[in-house]
Amino acid sequence: MCLAVPGKILSIEGQDPLLRSGKVSFGGTLKNVFLAYVPEARVGDYVLVHVGFAISVLVPEEADRIFRYLAEIEEGDFLQGEEAS
């Protein structure tokens, strides 16, 4: 199974669209992410990241929704729903 995780772009380096990268925060953990697939991404945007590449730009509401789902998974709430079925 593959997982893409949302993060917030804090800074962007490079002018060449194929070589652009950004420093992205994942809940306080900072990683360098390639931005070639999202040329429209700007500082402050949320992006969905898979294996070091931003694959789409998210509206803040969508990023919040994903963060809530991830928190539920971390707490184990998703298992309770399956057991109740």
74 close to 22: Cβ distance less than 8 angstroms: no
pLDDT, tens digit (0-9, with 9 covering 90-100), for 58-79: 998 998 898 888 888 877 755 5
Q: What CATH number does the domain located at 5-84 have?
A: 2.30.30.140
CA distance 64 to 59: 9
pLDDT, tens digit (0-9, with 9 covering 90-100), for 9-23: 999 999 898 999 999
Query: Tokens in use for 31?
Result: 């990683």
The model scores a pTM over 0.85: no
Helix-then-strand count for the chain, H and E? 2, 5
Annotated domain spans of the chain:
5-84
